[in-house]
């Protein structure tokens, strides 16, 4: 009941002037050198062994 599996994923939020683009953290080639401000976002989710899920955490 109190055993949880934790899964996390990281993405980079790229801001091009007034446009926001969400890309995978390993897929930077398309936006390299474009004067981009990048913010790394990590999402964490926890699911218990009996399929009960906690609210996701965004870092």
Q: Which residue has the higher pLDDT, 40 or 44?
A: 44
pTM: 0.47
What local confidence, expressed as pLDDT, does residue 49 receive?
Answer: 82
What local confidence, expressed as pLDDT, does residue 24 receive?
Answer: 67
- The whole-number average pLDDT for the span 7-14 is 74
Asked whether the predicted pLDDT for residue 51 surpasses 80, the reply is: yes
For 7, residues 6+ apart whose C-beta sits below 8 A from its C-beta are: 44, 45, 46, 47
How far is 57 from 29, CA to CA, in rounded Å? 28
Asked whether the predicted pLDDT for residue 23 surpasses 80, the reply is: no
Question: What residues does each domain of the chain span?
Answer: 4-58
Q: What is the mean pLDDT of the chain?
A: 72
């Amino acid at each position: 009941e109190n055993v949880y599996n934790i899964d996390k994923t990281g993405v980079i939020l790229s801001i091009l002037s007034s446009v926001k683009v969400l890309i995978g953290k390993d897929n930077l080639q398309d936006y390299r050198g474009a004067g981009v401000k990048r913010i790394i976002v990590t999402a964490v989710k926890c699911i218990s062994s009996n399929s009960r899920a906690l609210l996701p955490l965004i870092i």
